[in-house]
Amino acid sequence: MAEKQSKWKIFTAGIIRENPVLRLVLGCCSALAVTTTLSGAVGMGLAMTFVLVGSNIFISALRKVIPAKVHLPCYIVIIASFVTVVQMVMQAYLADLYKTLGVFIALIVVNCIILGRAEMFACKNTVVDSALDGLGMGCGYILTMSLMGGIRELIGGGSLLGVTIIPESIDRMTIMNSAPGGFFVFGCLMAGCIWLERKLNKPIERKTCGDVMLEELDAAKAEAVEGGAAK
């Protein structure tokens, strides 16, 4: 029974506790770009979940075979193969959606959620756990994306999934559908999330992949300076 509970915990972790977009702050690019409509957001979420589950399964199955030195190229090839599968399927059956999402489907390859989960989870855990983790993260991603897409489509276009909800007589705030609206809605959602955490007395430290980048950079710079001094 204890074992079952822990599996359930792995699955639910991605939905709220470790929500990839709002709590771990991974994959911001796609979260901002494709959430102009609800349907686009859900489509992207489903594509992402498929790649996430598939690559997590493969990477964890091969975790004892992949040499540590070349793990990154191996992960990228596995992920890129799954992305290509998604691209081909979408081109065949969902051509309109593929056109709306455009380059962002191909860019799933370099999305930090997938590489992040590969490095943080799949390379250390069993196949079943990794698949559950991928599924949970995917669900968390779909939920957040739908929330953002819903807000932006409702305020920006007055409709949801193409069905008009706010009467035509009220002017649309089309700014929500363009780039600034994306940043703004994401910022406000994040603030709401932090407000909730503070209410529940469980604040967390948010570290974007950019912050990690800056840290790595400082470390590399210090090393370069030291190397120069040693010479």
Q: Given the rule CB under 8 A, which residues bind other proteins?
A: 25, 28-30, 32-33, 72-73, 76-77, 80-81, 83-84, 87-88, 103, 106-107, 109-112, 115, 175, 178-184, 186-188, 190-192, 194-195, 198, 206, 208-214, 216-217, 220-221, 224-225, 227-228
Instruction: Give whichever of 64 and 199 is closer to other proteins, judged by the CB atom.
Output: 199
CB 23 within 8 A of CB 140: no
CA 151 to chain centre: 18
Between CA 191 and CA 159 the distance in angstroms is: 25
Nearest-approach distance from CB 215 to other proteins, in angstroms: 9
Instruction: Give the largest CA-CA distance in the chain.
Output: 73
How far is Cα 209 from Cα 25, in angstroms, rounded to an integer? 7
Q: How far is the CB of 207 from other proteins (least distance, A)?
A: 9
Q: How far is the CB of 8 from other proteins (least distance, A)?
A: 30
Among residues 201, 34, 6, which one has the least CA distance to residue 107? 34
Judged by beta carbon, residue 112 or residue 132, the one nearer other proteins is 112
Return the number of the residue (102 or 162) whose C-beta is nearest other proteins: 102
Q: Among residues 111 and 130, whose Cβ is nearest to other proteins?
A: 111
CB of 194 to other proteins, least distance (A): 5
Report the distance separating Cα 46 and Cα 142, nearest Å: 7
Helix 127-157 × helix 38-61 angle, to 10°? 170
